[in-house]
Amino acid sequence: MSRRKRADKRCSKPRPGTGSCSVSGKFAPAMIEVSQLTKTYGAITALDAVEFKVERGDIVGLLGPNGAGKTTLIKIMTGYLHPDAGTVRIGDIDVMDDPLAIQTRIGYLPENAPLYPELTVQGYLLLMADLHRMERDRHVDAVLEATEATGLTDRLTQKIGTLSKGYRQRVGIAQAIMHKPDLLIFDEPSVGLD
């Protein structure tokens, strides 16, 4: 008997198609669930009743030509834009009902990360730690871990405005991962990376 089958027997309610359960034996919600998502800009329909689910641990990419609605979808999923219709759930939270709660659960790198050129890398990341609602005693360690992961440790005291586009993109990635979110959502993450 395979290992997977033994695991299935211990679980009273396996997830369809996976044979796995949550710890409680109940079905865990999808990491992302998009239902009937619609967004228009005047006469232009950017999203037309989009539906999909992403399970925990899945890696998904959105592909399509310019203007296909990828960035619009990402902005709605992260709570930065409201849809005309439909819902987005991240885990058990409806994005439109509680967008602030979502901000602590996701790491988001927008296409053009809003960096502050007059701040140092460290100053910006400490500010972002506050905005991510991290415990204050974790701020410095989180900044060091994120800058080490993104190759920015030697740039901590450098002003963001003096960095190359690739290094500014790394700062954006560092702010997205520093609070160890459940979900990472990146829009054009490799553009301009050094």
11 within a domain of the structure (yes/no): no
Q: In this structure, are 92 and 135 located in the same domain? A: no
In this predicted model, what pLDDT tens digit does every residue of 123-178 receive, in sequence order? 999 999 988 888 888 999 999 999 999 999 999 999 999 999 989 999 999 999 99
What's the CATH code of the domain at 75? 3.40.50.300
107 within a domain of the structure (yes/no): no
Domain that holds residue 127: 121-186
pLDDT at 6 exceeding the cut of 60? no
Q: In this structure, are 88 and 128 located in the same domain? A: no
In this predicted model, what pLDDT tens digit does every residue of 12-66 receive, in sequence order? 444 444 444 444 445 567 899 999 999 999 999 999 999 999 999 999 999 999 8
42 within a domain of the structure (yes/no): yes
Q: In this structure, are 78 and 130 located in the same domain? A: no
8 within a domain of the structure (yes/no): no
In DSSP notation, 53-103 reads EE-TT--------TTSSHHHHHHHHTTSS--SEEEEEETTEETTT-HHHHH
Distance of CA 6 to the CA centre of its chain: 34
Number of domains present in the structure of the chain? 2
Residue 159, SS3? strand
15 within a domain of the structure (yes/no): no
Per-residue pLDDT at 193 = 67
